[in-house]
Structure 1
Amino acid sequence: MTRLVPHPLLSLALVLMWLILTRFSMGHLILGTLIALLAGWTVERLHPPRPRIRRWTAIPMLMGIVAWDILKSNISVARVLLLGPNHPSFHSGFVEVELTLRDPNGLALLAIIMTATPGTAWLEYDQPTGRVLLHVFDLRSEDDWQSLIRDRYERLLLEIFE
């Protein structure tokens, strides 16, 4: 059973999500099951490390901060789109941040947070130095972004994973 379905909870969640997003039919059930099995086998081949969560109470705090920051970023991106890119307060650019976080699960979660935030993109991570390169759509100050990532996200991720 484990070789056929290496990650049963992941596969079940994917099948259920597939059926929620599409109308339920036998064809969609079969297609969703095949996709879920393929995803489970792919994840098994990647050999991700099992997450060791050290402090569960920091997770809701991180979720709240991320939700608030995504809301603010949506407003900021909408402002730029409505005012136009030639507005004097608009400036996009690249930010390089040096991280102390080394846990692969924490880094993956930080990458997801950065990618989910409108107007930011995680471009590159240099493992030996711990530097991450981001592109920011509405860059006002590099120091603000470094502070945001280190003080708001990385601090909580270090509490959760390391």
Structure 2
Amino acid sequence: MINNMYSSTYEVTPLTMAIVAAPENHTKPSAMVLEEEGTWIVENTPSKIMENACKFFGSSLKGRQEGTRSICGITHKAPISIAPSCGMYFFPTASPSSHKCSWIAHSHIEQVNRGPYRQTEIIFKNGKTILLDVSFGSILNQVQRTAQYRYMLDNRIKYAQRDHVDVVAEPYP
């Protein structure tokens, strides 16, 4: 079921599985947002939706990309964590500045398959599927890079929380 949302706003949540770029024949920038329980059409580009999500959690898309670069050295098509405490890790399918760029939630992926005509099928844990005009190798690489980034960031967070669970801030002497 597709629900039309005639707003340029959409709040990315842990239930968001993918934000897919609209076909090139659309006159307005728009995206199809797949959630666990529904599909929405939003009048905004996928990267703008991701930018708004990053801002909601106190950063920017560029800031999240720079954080990825700092942690694991990925500079192009960098995966990001919108909110690591919520497990919200996404990767772009193309350059985020491209109108063809879609964003996929790493934690919702069940399987990645080769599709016809150099396309890739992504099967989500709830059984929904999407077919993207991106090569299988490129998507597989993005999944693996996101897993690497996720592992490294999660380890940093665990290290920072180790032995300091109850400490909110140190008193000023």
Structures share a fold, TM > 0.5? Answer: no
Q: TM-score, normalised by structure 1?
A: 0.26
Larger radius of gyration: 1
- Give the structure with the higher percent strand: 2
Q: Larger relative contact order (C-alpha < 8 A, sep ≥ 6)? A: 1
